[in-house]
Amino acid sequence: MDIQGAIVDLYSLLGQRLSQSKSDLDIHGRSETHFPLSPPDAVAYPHNTDEVAQITQICARHHCPIVAWGVGTSLEGQTQITTGGLSVDFSQMNKILSVQPKDMTVTVQPGVTREALNEELRATGLFFPVDPGANATLGGMASTRASGTTAVHYGTMRDNVQALEVVTATGEVIRTGTQARKSSSGYDLTALFVGAEGTLGLITELTLRLHGQPEAISSATCAFPSVDEAVQCVTDTIQMGLPMARIELMDVNSIRAVNAYSQMDLPEQPHLLIEFHGSETSASEQAETFGEIAKEHGGSAFQWATKEEDRRALWAMRHSAYHAILATRPGARALVTDVCVPISRLSETIAAAQSDLAELGFENAPILGHVGDGNFHATLMFDEDDTTTRERAIAASHRLVERALEFDGTATGEHGIGLGKMKYMAQEHGGAWLIMGQLKQTLDPQNILNPGKLVPPRN
Please report, as residue ranges, which positions from 39 to 68 form the binding site for a copy of itself (by CB under 8 A): none
Ranges of H-type helices in 28-177: 49-62, 114-121, 138-143, 151-154, 157-160
Of 19, 144, 204, 379, the residue at the interface with a copy of itself (CB under 8 A) is: 144
Closest-CA residue to 416 (of 83, 148, 207, 111)? 148
Degrees, nearest 5: CA angle 13-14-18:
130
**From the CB of residue 425, how many other CB atoms can be counted at a distance below 10 Å?**
18
Q: Least distance in Å: CB of 30 to a copy of itself?
A: 21
Which residues inside 385-424 make contact with a copy of itself, applying CB under 8 A?
404, 407-417, 421, 424
β-bridge pairing 42-44 and 86-89 = parallel
Of 18, 151, 317, 448, the residue at the interface with a copy of itself (CB under 8 A) is: 151
What's the CA gap between 426 and 316, in Å, rounded?
A: 37
Of 30, 428, 446, 452, the residue at the interface with a copy of itself (CB under 8 A) is: 428
The continuous run of DSSP H or E covering 190 comes out as helix 189-193
Alpha carbon 366 to chain centroid distance? 19
- Helical packing angle, 227-239 and 346-359, nearest 10°: 160
Of 188 and 363, CB closest to a copy of itself: 188
The continuous run of DSSP H or E covering 376 comes out as strand 375-383
Of 37, 225, 438, 458, the residue at the interface with a copy of itself (CB under 8 A) is: 438
Q: Is 171 in the site for a copy of itself (CB under 8 A)?
A: no
Three-class SS string for 295-313? Answer: HHCCCCCCEEECCHHHHHH
Of 212 and 267, CB closest to a copy of itself: 212
Cβ atoms of residues 205 and 167 within 8 Å: no
Q: Is 351 in the site for a copy of itself (CB under 8 A)?
A: no
By CB atoms closer than 10 A (0-12, 13-18, 19+), residue 387 is exposed
* Binding residues for a copy of itself, total number by CB under 8 A: 92
Q: Least distance in Å: CB of 150 to a copy of itself?
A: 12
Q: Least distance in Å: CB of 256 to a copy of itself?
A: 28
Of 84, 155, 291, 298, the residue at the interface with a copy of itself (CB under 8 A) is: 155
Of 154 and 304, CB closest to a copy of itself: 154
Stretch that binds a copy of itself, among 187-195, 259-267, 361-369, 389-397 (CB under 8 A): 187-195
Q: Least distance in Å: CB of 98 to a copy of itself?
A: 11
Of 154 and 382, CB closest to a copy of itself: 154
Of 44 and 166, CB closest to a copy of itself: 166
Alpha carbon 49 to chain centroid distance? 24
Q: Is 161 in the site for a copy of itself (CB under 8 A)?
A: no
Distances (CA, A) of 164 to 107, 109, 207, 351: 9, 10, 6, 41
Of 15, 16, 186, 265, the residue at the interface with a copy of itself (CB under 8 A) is: 186
Q: Is 129 in the site for a copy of itself (CB under 8 A)?
A: no
Q: Is 439 in the site for a copy of itself (CB under 8 A)?
A: yes
Degrees, nearest 5: CA angle 106-28-3:
105
Q: Is 188 in the site for a copy of itself (CB under 8 A)?
A: yes
The dihedral formed by the CA atoms of 4, 198, 142 and 77, expressed in degrees to the nearest 10: -80
Give the contact letters, 310-349, x = binds to a copy of itself (CB under 8 A), - = no: ----------------------------x-xxxxx-----
Of 30 and 158, CB closest to a copy of itself: 158
Stretch that binds a copy of itself, among 149-157, 296-304, 377-385, 389-397 (CB under 8 A): 149-157
